[in-house]
Amino acid sequence: MKIVIKFVLVLSVLAFSGFTSPQLQEQAELICIKNQKSTNTCYYNFKLGDIPYHFRDVGCKRKKDEIIKDVNAGELALSKDWKIPCPEVKKEEPKADQKTDF
């Protein structure tokens, strides 16, 4: 009987606390893919809202397009930070005319 009461108590706390799964508002941006041949592991580095995440595919079994689709759908668990660093591609800002008035 005590177990049932504890279960109901925990369930009611979760229900009334407003616990929801996090909803991604932005699309995941794939920064780079690194393959480690010695362990047959592929590392996919993403950015979600300027926060770095990575996904590790052991055996390199999945295709790049499939992983991007699953990340955007929220079906893959991403780890925070990058396991293997990648050089970030800097976005070029449109240059204004370089005419100067003297």
Residue 22 has pLDDT above 70, yes or no: no
User: What is the mean predicted confidence (pLDDT) over 61-89?
Assistant: 87
**pLDDT score of 87:** 76
Do 26 and 74 touch, CB atoms closer than 8 A? no
Alpha helices (H) in the chain, listed in sequence order: 2-16, 64-73
Average of pLDDT values for 32-56? Answer: 91
Asked whether residue 19 carries a pLDDT value surpassing 90, the answer given is no
| 18/16 Cα distance (integer angstroms) | 5
CA 56/CA 43 separation, integer angstroms: 5
Residue written as token pair 């606390």: 17
> How confident is the prediction for the chain on average, in pLDDT?
80
User: For the ranges 8-12, 43-47, 52-56, which has the lowest average pLDDT?
Assistant: 8-12
Q: Name which of 54, 56, 12 is nearest 29 in CA terms.
A: 54
